[in-house]
Structure 1
Amino acid sequence: MRTGVIGLGSMGMGAALSALRAGLEVTGVDPRAAARDSFAEAGGGAVARAAELPEGTQALVVLVVNAAQTEAALFGPDGALPRLAPGAVVISSATMAPEDARRIAERLGAAGMLALDAPVSGGAAKAATGEMTVMASGSAAAFDAAAPVLAAIATKVWRLGEAPGIGATVKVVHQLLAGVHIAVAAEAMALGIRAGADPQQLYDVVTSAAGNSWMFENRMARVLAADDAPRSAVDIFVKDLGLVTQMAKSLDFPVPLAAQAQQLFTAAHAQGHGQKDDGFVIRVWQALTGIKLPGD
């Protein structure tokens, strides 16, 4: 199956490699030469622009940052649309507002393409092993067309309905939880450090007890290792929690915890940590209280 993957970042690269291992004919698209070279070394095709995808591409995964980048990748001057086969399926996996997902699906449908509103979760590690979770909505025909790609990149595919926007809605709600969990994990670790607890012992206790969360276990391990290389950056949650508050506002629905968490990620961005791993939102508490983090 002739497949394209637009965006060879931490998750897109994993998805592209997983599809390649599954025997699909994969071309990755990324403006960064290093990303293209890495994918080419693994045996895939690599181009700098979506307009350079092979003609007749049958399935396309778009794993970029947001709706604007998705629309540019598909419909812009260097977009992929002219390179797609008639009736090709587009798997739109950036986190975006539901109304943006609906608009993109409508434009694809008008062009004769199938569309899946299909955001993903699992991080770089799950993407690399083909074990992502996909929360998708779209027609039965779109799911059928996308099946070989979804089987390659995910172990759990949620079929959430036929209407575009449902997948995006579920992902936005998921990001509310993810962002708040990361922020509160950082707050708890920072409080323990300020109170004199040994950070490693605090981590060991929490991860063996009822207060643990996946985010605490995953992100605070990186804080303990002083490893702020971005698997998911602070700026991602500035954006995604903004989508949460935007959706909530449109529904007259209060989200005080999400709003506070967004302010904390925004503060970390303002301090210059926007491209650091999102667990390093803990630097906000460091700046406020003067605590010393492991590795400092």
Structure 2
Amino acid sequence: MCVAPPTDAAHRVAARQREGAIDVQRRENAGLLFALAGFVLLSLGDSVIKTIAGAWPGTAVALTRYAIGVAMLGAMLAGSQGRAGFRMVRPRWHVLRGFSVALATICFFSSLFLMPQAEATALTFTSPILTALLSPLLLGERLNRASFAALALGFVGAVIVLRPTFLAVGAAALLPLLSALGMSLLMIGNRAVAGTQSALSMQFFVALLALPVMAVAAMAGHLSGFPPLHIGLPDWTIVARCAIVAVTATTAHWLLFMAAERASAARIAPMTYVQLLVALVVGYAVFGDLPDALSLLGAAVIVGAGLLLWRSGRTVVATTD
């Protein structure tokens, strides 16, 4: 039996398939670069926030950063979508999202004032693990064996990281874990409203609804009589730094959205751990902070737990800034 040689049409089809595969690979590579840039920007923004330590309370910093962010996002939303962009769908879930991001941001910013950035960042990486734990309760999802293993591993890593910090600053060392809890609730809220509105609308609503919570927290801290939470008149450089973080965080979120359009969430998820590397480098170079060997081990255990959870198909990316 003779086999007919490939025709010109078959060659053209094969060539188009090869070109299509190359285009897909290029898009995914571009998506990973967008994600890398986005996560690096978020970590650099955390470093800018840390420079305010001792000059202004974390509650006031969070409120100012988000007030500027809401103004920016509102202007962008009005210009791109008009009134339609401001119609809120499933408001109860948006309220949860706003409360969650307020909790996450206030606790994380405050933790940056009290402990090395790398340790605070490492502890917030327990967020995907907490999300896996809370999802069955709030969304009816089921945990698999890998999720249970990741939960146990993440808990061990968190205890290792907390060991020296808890001795140094006491219960305040738990702030990054509260931030991780806030991010977990945010991710669950994001799942509940996914696909109902544009990404820009989602970003605007979460910032807008976080503002009242941050305002109440800032006022309560100010009236508490606790000196570190007293809100005095800030130096202009503090407001400028808050504005810088608002711009970098908004840009980072846009980059992550661009990444999600080009690469799958499964490929993007591990890129979030670049934040820990940036935190280590900047923390040592700028603030002279270098976690001890056990803290680095604990961070590695937490990252390992997150990667295990990602491999089981349940990890979601979370950002607070």
Query: Normalised by the shorter chain, which TM-score bucket?
Result: under 0.3
Higher strand share: 1
Q: Give the TM-score of the pair, scaled to structure 1.
A: 0.25
Higher helix share: 2
Q: Give the TM-score of the pair, scaled to structure 2.
A: 0.24
1 or 2 for the larger relative contact order (CA 8 Å, sep ≥6)?
2
